[in-house]
Structure formats: C-alpha cells, structure tokens
Structure 1
C-alpha cells in the first residue's frame, strides 16, 4: 500500500497493491495494523456506508462536528467519482482549501479523509457504487454542510450546474462563511 499525503495535512491518497492474473484480481482494501502504522494514527473504524448513484449526482459537502466528527476511508467499487474534501479545521494552515481526486473501479485508489473535513463527490459514470468507512457513528444533531457551489471555495465539479442532480437538502446547505464549524 502506497500512501501519499495531499496538500491538506492529514488527508492521504492510498494506492493499494493489486495482484492480477487470468482469474481476475485481489487486493487488500484495509488492514488496521498497516493503516495505523503507515499513517501514524490510531484510527478505529466503526461503520461502513455504501451509496449507488447515477452520472451527475452530487452528494455533499457533508461533515459532522464536535465529538461526533468522523474520519473516512473512501473508495469506489464500481464506476467513478470526483471526490472532494475541504479543510474546515479552524486554525489549520490550509483552512478553506480543497483537494479533489478521481476515484475509480479501475485505479482502486482510496482517500483517507481525517476528522475536520467536509466531504462530497460527483458521480462520473452511471451505476457508480461508492463505499466508505467511518471512525464515528452518524449523529444527526452534529451534521453540517456547505453548499456545493460556494464562490469562496470555487470547486470545479466538472459539470455545469444544470447537469447536476442534487438533493433538496443539499441545495439548502449554507455557504462556507455561514457554515457551523
């Protein structure tokens, strides 16, 4: 497993070793000991989530605050997404900056999103399945979000706004300046 820290401290791109032969492929998607030793963290995932979406669906930007904040390990099982994270850690050198990466079933790349980050993705292929581990349980009173088209963040999602499919709830999210952090 190759880990590369992004420009956002604590956020890592993870490239697994994939073993291919005539039967197909094998890869280890997660190993607690290897993961914690390589990252120098003590992450303990407690919940796995999965979503299936069509091309153009945008989910996010979501996060949880306080003692219910979540770190995530994100990967695509089928299809492709543009995965986006925003540093919302007040006092961080990269506060308000974002990072994006294409996660696909072909590249099998994963993204480790530490606590203190907003997360979202736009689906690039029909019937895409995204899976992610969380190190804390979902807590409705601690959820927060930032509108996808916030002018200050200036995220390029790769689609026009008219092409995007967004939930009513996500369309009502506040801008970055007014988000509860």
Structure 2
C-alpha cells in the first residue's frame, strides 16, 4: 500500500495495490498490520456507505464532537468524488485551512481523515457509492456541521454551488465564523 502524507497534519492518501489477472483484480483495502507499520494506529469500529444518484450531490461539512469524535477512512466503491477536509483544531498552525482530494472507484484511492477535521464530499459522477470506516459510533448528540459553501473557507468543490444537491440539514449549517470548534490542538497528538 502506498501512503502519502498530505499538507494537513495526519491527513493521508492511501493507494492499495491491485493484483490483476484475466478475471479482474483483487485489492486489500484495509489492513491493521499494514497501517500500523506506517504509524497509523486508528481503530475503526463501524463501516458506513452512502449512495448519491446525481452529480453535484454534496454531503458535508460534518463532524462528531468529542468525546465521540471520529477519524474516517474514505473510499469510493462506484463513481467518483471530490473529498474535502478542513482543519478545525483550535491552536493548530493550519486552523481553517482545507484541502480537497479526488477519489475514484477506478483509481482505488482512499483518504484518511483524523479527528479534529470537518469532512465532506461532492459527487463528480452519477450513481456514486462511498464507503467510510469510522473510529467511533455515530452519536446524535455529537453530530454537527458547518456550511459547505462558506465563503470564508472558500473550498473549491469543482461545481457551481447553485446546482448542488444538498440536504436541508447541510443547507442550514452555520457559517464558519459563527461556529465554535469543539476540537483543541492540545487534545491531539499532532500539531
């Protein structure tokens, strides 16, 4: 598995090897042993799958507040997405900065999103299925969101915001400037 550290602390792109023959291919998409050898010790406790029919479907920017904070390992089973993360760890030198990574079923890439980040994605192909492992069970009391198209964040989603397919919850999420992060840098092991 190729593992690449990205520009925000702890965020990594993973590229599992694919072994092909006349039948197609096989890939080990997650291995505790392989990740531990790369210093990734996150324990995942739940798998989630989302399906989005239309191109331009936005899900995010979501988080689970401590003590129910979640790290995520995101991969696309069918279709493609632009995955976006925002560092919201108060005290981090990259607080408020974002990055976006394109993930495709065809390419098999994955994105590791640590606790302390907002997370969301937009579909770039129809009939997209996304699988993501999480490190803590969903807790409705810890559920939160920040507006996906917040002008202060300025995330490049690669779509016209006027054409986005968005849930009522995500459309009503607060602006970044009106939101208080529950994540503190001293609570995490990295800076």
Shorter chain as denominator, the TM-score bin is over 0.9
Residue 83 of structure 2: aligned partner: 83
Q: How far apart, CA to CA, are the structure 1 residues paired with 2:144 and 2:36?
A: 27
CA distance in 2, matches of 1:131, 1:79: 12
Q: Deviations over 1:4-41 (max 9, x none)?
A: 11100101000111112211000000001211221x23
CA distance in 1, matches of 2:77, 2:103: 9
TM-score between the two structures when normalised by the length of structure 1: 0.97
Describe the SS at the equivalent of 1:43.
coil
Is 1:145–1:179's contact at 8 Å kept on the other side of the alignment? no
TM-score (ref. length: structure 2): 0.92
Deviations 1:132-163 (A, max 9, x none): 00000111111111101111110111111221
Tell me the residue number matched to 2:49.
Answer: 50
Determine the C-alpha separation between the residues in 1 that align with 2:40 and 2:126. 35
SS at match of 1:165: coil
Residue 6 of structure 1 corresponds to: 6
Q: Deviations over 1:76-102 (max 9, x none)?
A: 000000000111111111111111111
- What is residue 73 of structure 2 aligned with on the other side? 73
| Partners of 1:179 and 1:71 in 2: CA distance | 20
Tell me the equivalent position of 2:158.
Answer: 158
Once residues 108 and 125 of structure 1 are traced to their aligned partners in structure 2, the CA distance between those partners, rounded to angstroms, is 15
DSSP 3-state at the match of 1:66: coil
Stretches of structure 2 that go unaligned for 5 or more consecutive residues are 182-191
Distance, in Å, in 2 between the alignment partners of 1:42 and 1:27 is 21
Aligned-residue RMSD, C-alpha: 0.9
Q: How far apart in 2 are the matches of 1:167 and 1:95?
A: 26
Moved over 3 A (4+): none
Partner residue, 1:26 = 26
3-state secondary structure, aligned to 1:67: coil
**Most deviating of 40-49 and 119-128:** 40-49
Distance in 2 between the 1:36 and 1:71 partners?
15
Matched residues in 2 for 1:49 and 1:127: separation?
A: 16
**2:133 — aligned with what?**
133
Give per-residue Cα distances to partners, 1:41-68, cap 9 Å, x unaligned.
3211000000010211100000011110
